[in-house]
Amino acid sequence: MRLKPIAVLLSLLLSLASLPARSAESLSIYAAASLTNALNAVIAAFGETHPTRVIANYASSSTLARQIAQGAPADLYISANLQWMDYLTETGVLADDSRRTLLGNRLVLVTGTNSALVPVELDQDWNLAGALGDSRLALGDPDHVPAGRYAKEALQWLGLWPVAEPRLARANNVRGALALVERGEAPLGIVYGSDAASARVRVLAEFPARSHSPIDYPIAIVRSADRPAARELLAFLSTPQATDIFRRYGFEVR
């Protein structure tokens, strides 16, 4: 007995419905911890017009670079300085022609919102030891965290590194240093200007740009992940919609 055409069509539709749905493509972006709030907002904006799911992994630039060099499944990488991007470039794991400088930042001295400390003039006469008392200065570990390295450069430029070094509260990333000040565990911290957007800290001073290396955020696609979806996200990060968000969170757009 021959099946009627409509019966054949229904049978085909039921067969297709029983197949597992194809999952949306996903991307993993490894980014410096200082980008956490801003990049989350940009990713949300990207998701409004793109089906690709973006998963962000935040840590210090050095930690992420080493993970990528060892084969971590990153599709894109954003560093908070040039050194760690150069490191990955030298290892050959980045896609050709994908590297560019995306953002910039400032270096600032912060204290807790309820602190009695007042704005200061950052020069060689600043009494850092008196401001700290028996407490410590919070910053990213200068041995591997970009924000900490910039802070060390600035303090050396001011001639205050010998005073600061034995009084450091070394954090694993700049967000950790910010948290120490937010919680009142350190009276002072050196963080990025974008971090100072926190409602729980206030800025006492901005370090002169000439006191430290330029704070740049380079971005690149990992060679093994160089595909259209990754290129779309890379392009989106430089659109007016994305750059407006970055500026709102205190970053400078390059």
Evaluate if pTM is beyond 0.85. no
Residues in a beta bridge with 191: 108
> Which residue, 64, 48, 2, is CA-closest to 217?
64
Share of residues in the chain with pLDDT > 70 (%) = 91
- Is 61 assigned to a binding site? yes
pLDDT in tens, 70-99: 999 999 999 999 999 999 999 999 998 999
- Is 77 assigned to a binding site? no
Mean pLDDT score, 13-26: 53
Domains in the chain, please, with CATH? 24-103+217-253 (3.40.190.10), 107-211 (3.40.190.10)
- Is 28 assigned to a binding site? no
Least confident of 13-22, 69-78, 129-138, 170-179: 13-22
- Is 87 assigned to a binding site? no
pLDDT at res. 11: 52
- Is 80 assigned to a binding site? no
pLDDT at res. 6: 52
